[in-house]
Amino acid sequence: MSTDPKIAVLGGGSWATAIIKMLSENLDNIGWYMRSVYAVEHIKRNKHNPNYLSSAELHPEQLDLSYDINETVKNYDYLIFAIPSAFLKSELDKLTESLEGKIIFSAIKGIVPESGYIVGEHFFEEYNIPFENIGVITGPCHAEEVAMERLSYLTIACQDQDKAKFVSKRLKGRYIRTKISDDIIGTEYAAMLKNIYAIAAGICHGLGYGDNFQSVLMSNSIREMKRFIRKVHKMKRNINNSAYLGDLLVTGYSTFSRNRMFGNMIGKGYTVKSAMFEMSMVAEGYYATKSAYKLNQEKGARTPIIDAVYSVLYDGKEAKKVFEKLTTKLN
Amino acid sequence: MSTDPKIAVLGGGSWATAIIKMLSENLDNIGWYMRSVYAVEHIKRNKHNPNYLSSAELHPEQLDLSYDINETVKNYDYLIFAIPSAFLKSELDKLTESLEGKIIFSAIKGIVPESGYIVGEHFFEEYNIPFENIGVITGPCHAEEVAMERLSYLTIACQDQDKAKFVSKRLKGRYIRTKISDDIIGTEYAAMLKNIYAIAAGICHGLGYGDNFQSVLMSNSIREMKRFIRKVHKMKRNINNSAYLGDLLVTGYSTFSRNRMFGNMIGKGYTVKSAMFEMSMVAEGYYATKSAYKLNQEKGARTPIIDAVYSVLYDGKEAKKVFEKLTTKLN
């Protein structure tokens, strides 16, 4: 009888599906919770997620699919959460099973709107999960390219390097390279902040700024991200590593990024509300902007880009004017 | 009578034309040398450069156009060279006028193939121009966006900060922001190295790597650039400033970059020779790769990306295999 700890993924979206695909290359039994009964049944019958990343072929015989979160939490040791941060709390509220002793890995890019915490902090503060049992899985990685089996690099961060290695070994494969890190706070904040910069990139694009300016914006964004993260958690890190700069670039330069698209609509003149309505979902960077802005009121890093996005999204300021002023603060 | 030093631009390409456009916003008399008699006459009559950046409206009444390089050199104090590096030597060989006492600014991104020097070094070594009279004008800046008057940021580097300020003041305007630097070596090497990384980006794209990998490549490129430049000229610099990282990004992510296009053809299976032939011009990064590789044989920085591009361009190695191996060295 194998005593190897068992891994489950929680979430039914693109990124969850991509992680399932990676794990399926290495494991015969993977737990997978998603709330949609329909999706579970569809995957069992048709070997594809009906709603997200539907081009990826799945292997139901390797999957222990469930639409009961408590069943999955009960039966698995490593829980990889890939639920959009906006829905995390309502999913966790369903829990009757304890999370004690579980190893929690967050593959969520964003902030939990109800608590204002990044996901690792949320589990630490709300569920008393010790930090050595909390990890982060971060890109740069569009799920769509995992479906196409295009080479991608992930960073797996955990204070306990053995746990990072455990997860890393099960994710890596023919088209996935992994790297270990002990910077869970920094990688998680980077993953969250990049969505704000992607909104900024979208706003600028919508306003008519070109590629020259875009590169200046990204160059300023990575410096701002460094200042911000250093204030939150000072440690030796190379901000130009893939988990920080790479993740910023893959999002900031992606025309498929929901955050960039959201920004683009605002730059083109949509109101914040109508842009949200048109997209029929909320871009994660929307919440991240508020949280980062509020947090920085205490921390005091110089963050002209976050400030600009905040004043457009939350203070009703005109994007054109705010960004004209922003351009004088960049270099 | 004004004793203000007089500025001239040497070169007839897109970037030279863009610089003329910027200067024209601030100056009534600008020298402009280009070798094509036809182009000079066309500009005088039609107010547009017939061959490059022809959408930009020029103002011949402000321009002292000449197709005699000696006339321009004789009559002007600040000489901004914007001649492709591959043709610089043959242009300079026409000189009978002395460059003594002239202030030389290089707006050339690349290496002088005949000497193997970056442009500043070339003027220092071959023309005894003291380093305090040498400056660099660098992006991130596509000339095409200057023509469209899209906001762009330039870095003006010179050891003598007064000279940098002098040029800066005459370039900046409604759609041009400028920044002063004293890192002429670093900014020039960055401008040269980025073309090699753009070739690498193109090769990867041609080979079918996606956006996830592209962001990892760029993240590794900026770290490699930092290691390389530090070996060449160690000083305090923030490699994430626009003149380094911004310039890398605007080129590496541009589908219009000749260097990226050249790499793309090679990734798709063209031989180096046929890619050059198809493009009917040599991408600057082609020479830069050889020079950077050779220079690094002495310097000893870890440069897996430059090494990979070199072995494809100069050792006839197969791009697919070389880049597969490269992916194991990145993270």
**Burial of residue B153, with CB atoms counted within 10 A of its CB: 0-12 exposed, 13-18 middle, 19 or more buried:** buried
Give percent above pLDDT 70 in chain A. 99
Under 8 Å between Cβ of A107 and A119 = no
| Residues paired with B157 in a beta bridge | B136, B181
Which of A136, A158, A182 marks a domain boundary?
A: A182
Q: How confident is the model at residue B86 (pLDDT cuts 50, 70, 90)?
A: confident
Average pLDDT of chain B is 95
**Catalytic residue check, A226:** no
- Tell me the chain A residues in contact with residue B168 when contact means C-beta distances shorter than 8 Å: none
Same domain membership, residue A141 and residue A12: yes
User: What pLDDT, on a 0 to 100 scale, did the predictor assign at position B1?
Assistant: 46
Q: Which residues of B are catalytic?
A: 194
Inter-chain residue contact B215 with A253, CB threshold 8 Å: yes
What is the average pLDDT across B125-141? 96
What is the average pLDDT across B253-277? 93
Nearest residue, CB atoms, A142 vs list B208, B212, B254:
B212
Q: Can you tell me the distance from the alpha carbon of B227 to that of A122, in angstroms, rounded to the nearest whole number?
A: 38
- Tell me the chain B residues in contact with residue A239 when contact means C-beta distances shorter than 8 Å: 240
H/E stretch holding A185: helix A184-207
Same domain membership, residue B240 and residue B138: no
A2 located within any domain: no
ipTM for this model: 0.95
Q: How confident is the model at residue A307 (pLDDT cuts 50, 70, 90)?
A: very high
Nearest residue, CB atoms, A240 vs list B142, B219, B247:
B219
A227 located within any domain: yes
- Is pLDDT of B250 > 70? yes
Lowest mean pLDDT among A1-10, A118-127, A303-312, B169-178: A1-10
User: What pLDDT, on a 0 to 100 scale, did the predictor assign at position A2?
Assistant: 56
What is the average pLDDT across A174-185? 96
User: What pLDDT, on a 0 to 100 scale, did the predictor assign at position B109?
Assistant: 81
Same domain membership, residue A11 and residue A103: yes
What is the average pLDDT across A145-172? 97
Range of the domain at A208: 186-327
B322 located within any domain: yes
| Residues paired with B178 in a beta bridge | B154
Same domain membership, residue B237 and residue B218: yes
What is the average pLDDT across A29-58? 96
Which of B135, B151, B182 marks a domain boundary?
A: B182
Strands (E), A51-205: 63-66, 78-81, 103-106, 111-112, 117-118, 134-138, 152-158, 176-181
- Is pLDDT of B291 > 50? yes
Residue A2: count of CB within 10 angstroms of its CB: 6
Nearest C-alpha neighbor of A146 from the set A246, A7, A282, A23? A23
CATH number at residue A317: 1.10.1040.10
Nearest residue, CB atoms, A152 vs list B150, B212, B222:
B212
CATH number at residue B117: 3.40.50.720
Same domain membership, residue B178 and residue B58: yes
Write the CB contacts of B12 (distance below 8 Å, at least 6 apart in sequence). B34, B35, B36, B39, B49, B51, B52
Look up residue A125 and give its two tokens: 């503060």
Same domain membership, residue A295 and residue A199: yes
User: What pLDDT, on a 0 to 100 scale, did the predictor assign at position B283?
Assistant: 84
Q: What are A224-274's pLDDT values in tens digits? A: 999 999 999 999 999 999 999 999 999 999 877 899 999 999 999 999 999
A229 located within any domain: yes
Same domain membership, residue B38 and residue B126: yes
What is the average pLDDT across B175-193? 96
User: What pLDDT, on a 0 to 100 scale, did the predictor assign at position A1?
Assistant: 46
Give percent above pLDDT 90 in chain A. 90
Same domain membership, residue B225 and residue B83: no
Higher pLDDT, B127 or A110: B127
B38 located within any domain: yes
Same domain membership, residue B293 and residue B144: no
- Tell me the chain A residues in contact with residue B208 when contact means C-beta distances shorter than 8 Å: 150
What is the average pLDDT across B269-285? 88
- Is pLDDT of B53 > 50? yes
Highest mean pLDDT pick, A99-113, A232-246, B271-285: A232-246
A1 located within any domain: no
Report the interhelical angle of B211-232 vs B184-207 (nearest 10°).
150
B115 located within any domain: yes
Q: How confident is the model at residue B2 (pLDDT cuts 50, 70, 90)?
A: low
Lowest mean pLDDT among B38-42, B111-115, B214-218: B111-115
Inter-chain residue contact B151 with A222, CB threshold 8 Å: no
Q: How confident is the model at residue A113 (pLDDT cuts 50, 70, 90)?
A: confident
B256 located within any domain: yes
Cα dihedral across residues A316, A320, A323, A324: positive or negative: negative
Same domain membership, residue B210 and residue B278: yes
Same domain membership, residue A157 and residue A35: yes
Same domain membership, residue B198 and residue B268: yes
User: What pLDDT, on a 0 to 100 scale, did the predictor assign at position A96?
Assistant: 98
Q: How many domains does chain A have?
A: 2
- Tell me the chain A residues in contact with residue B247 when contact means C-beta distances shorter than 8 Å: 215
Give percent above pLDDT 90 in chain B. 90
Q: What are A185-203's pLDDT values in tens digits? A: 999 999 999 999 999 999 9
Which of A146, A162, A182 marks a domain boundary?
A: A182
